[in-house]
Amino acid sequence: MSSSENNLKEVVVLGAGVVGLSTAIRIQETGRYRVTVVAEVLPTDAKTIKYTSQWAGAHHVSFASLEDPRHALDKETFEELWKLKDTVEGCFMTIEQTEYFSKQRPSPSPLAHMPEFRSLSPNELGALQGIQPVDGEVFNTITFDTPVYLTYLSTRFLSKGGQIIRGSVQHISEIAESGVFSFLSHEEKKHIISKPDGVKPPAAIVVCAGLGARFLGGVEDKDVYPIRGQTVLVNAPWIKHGKTLSDLDANEWTYMIPRRSGTVVLGGTLQPNDWNPTPRRETSLNILERVLKLAPELVPGKAQPTVEDIWPLVVEEGCGFRPGRTGGLRLEADKIQVPHSDKTIPVVYNYGHAGSGYIASFGSARVALGLLEKALKE
Partner 1 sequence: MASQTKQQIIVLGAGVIGLTTALKIQSELGKRLDVVLIGEILPTDPKNIKYTSQWAVANLRGIAELEVDTFKVLWDLSAPGSDAEECLLRIHEEEYFADDSIPIKPFENMPDVRAFPFALLSLNHLYRTPAVNVDAPFLSQFKRLEQSQLPTGVRSGISFTTLTIDTPLYLNYLLNQFIVKGGRVLRGTAQHIHQVIEGGVYGFPGGPALFGGASSKSEGPAAVINCTGIGARFLGGVEDKKLYPLRGQTIIVRAPWVRSGKTFYKDRTGAFTYIIPRRSGEVIVGGTRAPNDWYAQPRPETTEDILQRGFAFCPDLASPEIRSQREPTIDDVRSLIVAEGCGLRPSREGGIRLEVEWTEGVGGRGRVPVVHNYGHGGTGFQASWASADIALRLLEESLARA
Cis? peptide before 58, omega within 30° of 0: yes
Using CB under 8 A as the binding rule, whether residue 289 contacts partner 1 is answered as no
What does the buried/exposed string (b/e) look like for 71-109 if buried means 16 or more CB atoms within 10 Å of the residue's CB?
bebbbbbbebbbeeeeeeeebbbebebbbbbbeebeeeb
Q: How far is Cα 218 from Cα 235, in angstroms, rounded to an integer?
A: 43
3-state secondary structure of 183: helix
DSSP 263: E
Residue 61 half-sphere exposure, CB side, CA atoms within 13 Å?
A: 26
Q: How near is the Cβ of 171 to partner 1 at its closest, in Å?
A: 4
341 binds partner 1 (CB under 8 A): no
Sign of the C-alpha dihedral computed for residues 344, 172, 148 and 61 taken in this order: negative
286 binds partner 1 (CB under 8 A): no
Quick one: 30 or 168, whose CB is closer to partner 1? Answer: 168
Stretch that binds partner 1, among 53-61, 146-154, 255-263, 274-282 (CB under 8 A): 274-282
Write down the least CB distance from residue 228 to partner 1, Å.
11
Under the criterion CB under 8 A, does residue 182 sit at the interface with partner 1? yes
Q: Which is nearer to partner 1, 178 or 361 (CB)?
A: 178
Contact 124, 136 (CB under 8 A): yes
Smallest distance from partner 1 to CB 172, Å = 9
174 binds partner 1 (CB under 8 A): yes
> Radius of gyration over alpha carbons of the chain, in Å?
22
Contacts of 254 (CB under 8 A, 6+ apart): 244, 245, 246, 267, 268, 287, 290, 291, 294
170/344 with CB nearer partner 1:
170
Which residue, among 358, 271, 260, 262, has the nearest Cα to 315 in the 3D structure?
262
Instruction: Select the span of 24-32, 72-80, 278-286, 344-352 touching partner 1 (CB under 8 A).
Output: 278-286
Nearer to partner 1, 47 or 240 (CB): 47
C-alpha 14/C-alpha 21 separation (Å) is 9
Q: Which is nearer to partner 1, 340 or 377 (CB)?
A: 340
- Considering the complex, what minimum distance in angstroms separates the CB of residue 163 from partner 1? 19
Using rule CB under 8 A, residue 127 touches partner 1: no
Q: Which of residues 184-223 bind partner 1 (CB under 8 A)?
A: 193, 211, 214-215, 217-218, 220, 222
Contact call for residue 306 and partner 1 (CB under 8 A): no
Pairwise CA distance, residues 201 & 12, whole Å: 10
Q: Phi first, then psi: what are they for 21, rounded to 5°?
A: -70, -40
Binder among 190, 275, 341, 374 for partner 1 (CB under 8 A): 275
CB of 373 to partner 1, least distance (A): 28
Residue 334 binds partner 1, judged by CB under 8 A: no
Binding site for partner 1 (CB under 8 A): 48-50, 168, 170-171, 173-174, 177-178, 181-182, 193, 211, 214-215, 217-218, 220, 222, 275-282, 284, 316-317, 339
